Structure 1
């Protein structure tokens, strides 16, 4: 709460967490000053010739937070709600994720203000290529590496890497991750974020002395991350009772048929209306009497209103920034175990790193190899954060920031920045 208003600006939220972490670690003020805002934000205007012959200008952003650990890395989202502050915050969160996982990256993030569902395939391709033409001077496998995010796909990454390669006059596959396999993408990349979410849920359940099989869950958001998370939980014997997406929600007390739902949602664009099941609202989803709640949509979903109603034992933040400070305080008060976003959903950047390594070394790893490496990395990161939590007597969210900021500060010191 700030001046009586709930804090919801993602950039202000992450800046508050960084300030607390640097103070707790007794770091020089300069560390916070470097961390609190991106090194560079590029704002671009992209002209696109529409199918009717008219032209539209689309606004886009690319934020590069920090390169102290390596090139900046992060997704590109296509969404009408994209703002400069959102993209800046997301790039900072990416820096935190990379540091927690021990990956040699800084944080980057991009976005275009657009509803891609309103564009034809040709218009979408032109927009994607136009964005890369504007970003080309600051991109590269050792500079800044985009990837898929909200409403972007391997196909869009394929157009983007093709445009970048044309501009450079050579093939540079390591510049973009999340590509189609035939263009140097990695096995397991599509499922990576959701798989990482489930790995952290398994680890949290073990710490609580709980068996995953037989537990119940609800999921907010049924795009790539939400659907994969639901599918993998279902395969592990968890009953997914409810799902809500942008088109509505459904609930069934005996559990939902996830595989069938994925096919249905791909056809209709929503889970709403499936098989005449009971409808479910966002508010009802958050208040559901289940073991696991997975917010896998957008920012600011768990608030001072929804936070106090949560009855789940574990909240796994599959989305970036789904919780406001007031929502987090409410969950803490009620003893909810929160797996923070910068740990929980870091599986995507981890396998993007694997893809980048494969492109750089001209090697190909099997899906089994990728998944085993991901499991190892996520388990080590969870243990590092949990150990910090026990050492400091703090929450998992605070511990995650402490781990990340401490590692970034060490790199700053090694480079002579502080």
Structure 2
């Protein structure tokens, strides 16, 4: 049985009133698990496509999205630490049954879209490295993610965190290495920080990049990760843990943001104008042509690590969502099979995996408001958070993030419906 919430917490250190004595670095970990979702194969597809198609134009989207992610992930972790509840659990206690089921349905759809992106990414990477058929690669990715989750289930959250941090290091190496061969232009990078678009397709990509960066499923998950790792505390203990959580989130999002930015800059520098065929396979081939075989190999290895790790984290998040909203848990293998089916169907019918990756990220971007609005509302209420409720500037900033996301999605719908370019 796949365990989340209190069962995992019981495997870790007990929730006591003693003040944490560990150095701040020893409290780091939950945010790095969440950060895996920010460097998943969906990020690779959207970021590389943005750089190869528009050069440095959408650099600002990555920077803005990562800043938003820092705030959002901290609020999620704070909710878990202060209330002792994950975000899905907090919503369950405040929603009628019909609303809770509808909310779970959209959250589950987001989890499925996440799994599609991650399994497809792993399948593409295995095809690039070993020439495996995509369907076989998808099955292997699902099996490996199940094995990774078994580590968390049997050995506890800290072992899972260490394993994920190791995979994150592999991902970073795979996607950053190319910049040492072809450094980006500092002037063009700075110019890319100016917010602007270039037609409807660039808005579509921006929405996908946002959906791939501010990930709804790990907003749900991070509240459970922080709660399960540290427990619920008050007073001095609580302040120390919140301070350590800021450090954890800041470090994790800095790493994830740097990797995402590296993807865009690598494509803008080395791949703009190259014939990539709009696919990750084409990107891999172009990297090999322009930067050499070793860099292309590191890219494929990074993509594979991204697919394996993010699929495990995504399945973990899906279990947290279901357990929190419905008080239902299902065996790991059953959930793994259910969430794996859509990706395998897409691979079996021959859908372009890279385009499916990008569209899955757009689906994720539409799920963000359903996550952010309740998160902002709950963390701003003193009846929920007590003295740890958001200060007014934080609430305003979080509300602004939510408005930006919703506005971008509305613009995307308009441009797509009208065929504007």
TM-score, length-scaled by structure 2 = 0.31
The structure whose residues are more often strand, as a share, is 1
The structure whose residues are more often helix, as a share, is 2
Greater length-normalized contact order (CA 8 Å, ≥ 6 residues apart): 2
